[in-house]
Structure 1
Amino acid sequence: MSTCTNTTGAAMNGKPGTEFDVVVVGAGPTGMLLAGDLAAAGLNVTVVERRPRETSNLTRAFAVHARTLELLDARGLADELVGRGTPVTRLRLFARLSLDLSRLRSRFPFLLITPQYEVERLLERRAAEAGVTFRYGTEVRGLHQDAATVTAEVTGPDGAPAELRARYLVGADGVRSTVRRSLGLPFPGRAVIRSIVLADVRLAEEPENLLTVDGRGGAFSFIAPFGDGWFRVMGWDRDRQAADSEPVGLDEIRGIARRALGSDYGMHDARWISRFHSDERQVPAYRTGRVFLAGDAAHVHSPAGGQGMNTGLQDAANLSWKLAAVLRGRASDPEALLDSYHSERHPVGAMVLRSSGAIIRIAMAHHPLLRAARALGAAIFDATPPATTRAVGLISGIGISYGAGRGSHRLTGRRAPDLALSEGRLYELLRRQAFVLVGPRSGAAADTPATPGTVIRATWADPARRGTLLVRPDGYIAWARD
């Protein structure tokens, strides 16, 4: 296997016919996690990014959910990220609805407030250390594939055309994905909310709650801290449905906050203001031959629930070990394993579209009867522990599971918690990107199925436990026996 040279920020040094195992298009969080996983598995990976190399603090995502932190923990990154962010253990929506995250059965029973650029910084560092080649300032113009390879036609920073050929290509290039358009795939859906305004501001008066969100009087607003004295403010005004190109000033954002929250908290010194719209869209196929789509290139939804970046990172964690198993010749049925990326992640993307869409539609309720129904429903929901537990599980990602075949054990397809083992924590063992077979000290079950990868054997820290679990590299249970 050839090795990779880190050419971060350098001009493209490829030539027609350059061979890679995988080309990843897009250097956002999804692409970075995927590329880092593949390179850590010993594969030859390059990341192609249209933008020049830079670290920007003007990012829309700022929430990292518990399940995503578990996946970062399995890569040795979670503790450093948590140290840079602000944990939130309770979410309060619409004044009457409160979600308690502290009850999550996770090492991370909270929502971490931290800007997207902090996540990108850690993932880029990991990918570079693993040997990923970066090609910034490089744009994909088209692609074609045959039975053995996929070729991306690109132009580098100097405008010179070139071709990058690989065994597989992953489009993680966002909502306007060139990879998706090159495949001719539709992106059905619609705009769910228009004229959302965003700003990073300082506040003269900090809100009572760490996360402040509410909607009333035809307006909706959200305030979250970055932890460094700056706050991200999002707002929407039913009576001000302007085009994305329309300028927006701090006075408009102040007015929305006063209507929705009852105060603008003395917003001042905005360093960034923008207006955008939010779509609900999902591509019908996450895989087309040797090309895969992940993150916003595959699905986009409302910002409610803060699930966008998190869903993309979980896409990458699902796909990376499957591609690695196939490329290293360890999959008994390569096509079925790669197809399982779509069959597992497409339903999750659809679920996130439904849940985030429901939150934003409830928040946008305008008619007095609808607002009264919202208040009543929130009170009933808040008083129903099973309902709130399920909601917290889905929003945090902890409750997401994958379908299992008929006759499978009840645990198959579920997320594995951070089990206490004689050899250490489960998610520390998962840093070796292998399956983990957990069983009693008397020995593993004789009928353990074959896996498309190496297997680490571990034993329960509690000697009284007798069951056996086979945990996939992405932390989901592949097989179990009582």
Structure 2
Amino acid sequence: METTDVAVVGAGPTGLMLATELALAGVRCRVLERRTETPDTTRAFAVHARTLELLDARGMADELLPRGVPIREITPTSGATIDLGEIDSRYPMLLIVPQSGTEQVLERRAHEAGVEIVRGAEVTGLRQDIVHVVLELADGTEETARYVVGCDGAHSAVRRLLGVPFTGTEYATHILLADVRLAAPPQGAMFAETGPAGAVVVIPFGDGWFRAIAWDRQREQVPLAEQVPLAEPLPMDEVREAFVRIAGTDFGMLEQRWSTRFLSERRQAAQYRVGRVLLAGDAAHVHSPLGGQGMNTGIGDAVNLGWKLGATVQGWAPAWLLESYATERHRVGAQVLALTDAFNNLVLGYSRIRKVLQRVAVRTIVRVPPARRALVGRLTGIGIAYPAARGAHPWTGRRAPDVVCGTKRLYELLRDGRFVLVDASALGLAAEAVADAAVVRTARATPTTRRPDVLLVRPDGYVAWAGEDTPELAEEARAAVARWCGTGLRVA
């Protein structure tokens, strides 16, 4: 039986992004997708600044931008507006684009990279030993791989077959989603309204269609036996009625092309890795859609895991590297759950006193520059950082800025999936010291007091090591590359 290097289960944004990362690393990868057809409309629509930076690091951001509508300001609560133009990023925006559009960009890249996507492949069984994982499929066939990654959503078959607990709770408020045309659309890029009956949001896709979202509290007190089943089709009249009741208007809904209803959850997998099987995206964490974090967190998982798993399969990774995926991303997942839960309580909490206090707190935060930057960093992903060892340079684990390196930007240099050592020291000795590293490329930059003299940037755009221009700089750079790149330090 032919064995592939990695089998990715799930062809959503997380699985497709991971597949492109593995292919970039020279890893043979197959994507197994339960659905037989590619969906043309899906739930997620928000692409945050950090996700755009990660896509830029792989040359896909410019392809996605024309598909969406940029949002330059966000309002987490009434009376508190955040100007995203303050972000120190090439992409100071929230890009509104249907998930299907993001998937099309990712799937095209996966095909170009030679990734095979197998549709109609439903995983029903899983067993593993010290060298392989075998997936049993519903059609009676089997798929053997050196590693498996479950990117198969909130109801992940991979997670269930591993027996990994998915702890958390379900929110009580029904969420109604519909893509509609409007005769009298709201003014501004995004409309939101909250009240005792729930909350509504209207977001333009830029092609004449709008995403209408209603958090409808009407059914919270209805006995379970009398509630409308979540699988029941959602007619436009029901969406209209919810909007009128919550916001006082339905904006003249004319036509509906897609709709669904669901209850969101707040859950996280207890483990992101069991042996040779790993979890990413919604298979590892689900949360309230408020804040638009889901797809972005999944893509972040994929970019973090891709190069580490690729290095492990290729044989040059240090022994600890693959385990660092779970360590770093489980922490990020927990932070996202806390953030979205806070947003959910702010918008839909029962306690009026608590909601008032929370709104006052948010308004205060956005008026205080350091607090505002911290909030924006969490919301946009720009502020995500990974823990560093005690005594490490303060920049270690931080998102790397898009440094100009000669005629190219850092994020252009990252597009081949290697580490980049950015050397702005006087003599460039750090770059010379690691010039023979197979998985590191070097670049010279102009010195500045705003960042360290030398940055070793990981393939996912985070700082692995930083150093200053001292007599020991070259030796320290060589040691940092040896730690992070293992046998990749030598010419392949």
Same fold (TM over 0.5): yes
Q: Which residue of 1 aligns with 2:475?
A: none
- The answer on 1:454 being equivalent to 2:436 is no
Corresponding residue for 1:63?
A: 46
- Letter matched to residue 236 of structure 1: W
The whole-number CA distance in structure 2 between the counterparts of 1:33 and 1:108 is: 19
* Amino acid in the other structure paired with 1:288: V
Is 1:109 equivalent to 2:92 in the alignment? yes
2:199 to 214, 220, 229: 220
Larger fraction in helix = 2
Residue 12 of structure 1 corresponds to none
CA 1:473–1:248 in 2, change beyond 3 Å: closer, same or farther?
A: same
Q: Distance in 1 between matches of 2:353 and 2:331?
A: 33
- Structure 1 residue 164 corresponds to structure 2 residue 148: no
Give 1:417's match in structure 2, choosing from 390, 401, 404. 401
Structure 1 residue 26 corresponds to structure 2 residue 6: no
2:113 matches 1:130: yes
Equivalent in the alignment of 1:91: 74
Quote the offset at 1:273 in angstroms. Answer: 2.3
Q: C-alpha separation between the residues in 2 aligned to 1:165 and 1:366?
A: 50
In structure 2, relative to structure 1, the CA distance for the partners of 1:448 and 1:384 (3 Å cut) is farther
**Is the 8 Å Cα contact of residues 421 and 442 (structure 2) preserved in structure 1?**
yes
Q: Distance in 1 between matches of 2:340 and 2:98?
A: 20
CA contact (8 A) 2:175 2:215 kept: yes
User: What is the Cα deviation at residue 205 of structure 1?
Assistant: 1.4
Q: How does 1:333-412 map to 2 (within 5 A)?
A: 333=319, 336-412=320-396
Q: Does 1:148 align with 2:131?
A: yes
Deviation at 1:444, TM superposition (A): 3.4
The normalised TM-score by structure 1 is 0.91
CA distance in 2, matches of 1:342, 1:452: 26
Deviates more, 1:430-439 or 1:56-65: 56-65
Distance 1:452 1:185 in 2: 38
Kept in 1, the 8 Å contact 2:173–2:217? The answer is no
For residues 407 and 390 of structure 2, the distance between their equivalents in structure 1, rounded to whole angstroms, comes to 33
For 2:435 and 2:337, how far apart are their aligned partners in 1? 35
* Alpha-carbon separation, structure 1, partners of 2:407 and 2:423: 12
After superposition, the C-alpha distances for 1:400-420 in whole angstroms (9 at most, x for unaligned) are 000000110000000001111
Counterparts of 1:175-194 in structure 2, within 5 Å, are 175-194=154-173
How far did 1:49 drift?
A: 0.6
Say if 1:218 and 1:364, in contact at 8 Å, map to a contact too: no
Q: In structure 1, what is the equivalent of residue 180 of structure 2?
A: 201
Q: Give the aligned CA root-mean-square deviation in angstroms.
A: 2.1
C-alpha distance 308-463 of structure 1, shift in aligned 2 (>3 A): closer
1:99, distance to aligned residue in structure 2 (A): 1.7
Structure 1 CA distance, aligned partners of 2:276 and 2:372? Answer: 41
Q: Residue 14 of structure 1 aligns with which residue?
A: none
Return closer, same or farther for 1:121/1:247 CA change in 2, 3 Å cut-off: closer
Distance in 2, matches of 1:469 and 1:370, equals: 44
Residue 462 of structure 1 deviates from its aligned partner by 5.0
1:245 shift after superposition:
3.5
Q: Distance in 2 between matches of 1:367 and 1:318?
A: 39
Over 3 Å counting, the alpha-carbon distance change for 1:88 and 1:446 in structure 2 is closer
SS at 2:18's partner residue? helix
Letter in 2 for 1:445: A
Q: What's the offset of the Cα at 1:192?
A: 2.0
Question: How big is each residue's C-alpha offset from its partner over 1:425-473, in whole Å with a ceiling of 9 and x where there is no partner?
Answer: 0000000100000112621338978999611000104589870110000
Matched with 2:453 is: 467
202-211 vs 74-83, which moves further: 202-211
Hey, what's the Cα distance between the residues in 1 that align with 2:197 and 2:117? 46
- The two structures have a TM-score, normalised by structure 2, of 0.89
Partner residue of 1:438 out of 419, 422, 431: 422
Displacement after TM superposition at 1:248 (Å): 3.5
Matched, 1:292 2:275: no
Letter in 2 for 1:177: S
Letter of the structure 2 residue corresponding to residue 46 of structure 1: R
Write the letter of the residue equivalent to 1:77.
M
Secondary structure, aligned partner of 1:208: coil
In 1, distance between residues paired with 2:370 and 2:239?
37
Q: Does 1:310 align with 2:293?
A: no
Q: Secondary structure at the match of 1:381?
A: helix
In the other structure, the counterpart of 2:266 is 280
- Give unpaired runs (5+ residues) of structure 2: 221-226, 469-492
1:323 equivalent among 302, 309, 312: 309
Work out whether residues 94 and 213 of structure 1, in 8 Å CA contact, stay in contact via their aligned partners in 2. no
Offset, 1:145:
0.8
Q: CA deviation at 1:383?
A: 2.2
- Among 244, 247, 260, the alignment partner of 2:230 is 244
Q: Which residue of 2 aligns with 1:4?
A: none
Residue 287 of structure 1: CA displacement?
0.6
Report how many aligned residue pairs link the two structures. Answer: 459
Partner Cα distance (1:282, 1:430) in 2 = 31
- Sequence identity of aligned pairs in percent? 49
Farther off after superposition, 471-480 or 219-228? 219-228
SS at match of 1:144: strand
Shift, 1:194, TM fit? 3.2
Contact 2:81/2:366 (<8 A) preserved: yes
Structure 1, 168-177 or 248-257: larger mean CA deviation: 248-257
Q: Deviations for 1:243-302, whole angstroms, at most 9, x for unmatched residues?
A: 413554323322332344343211221122221000000001101000000000000000
Map of 1:6 onto structure 2: none
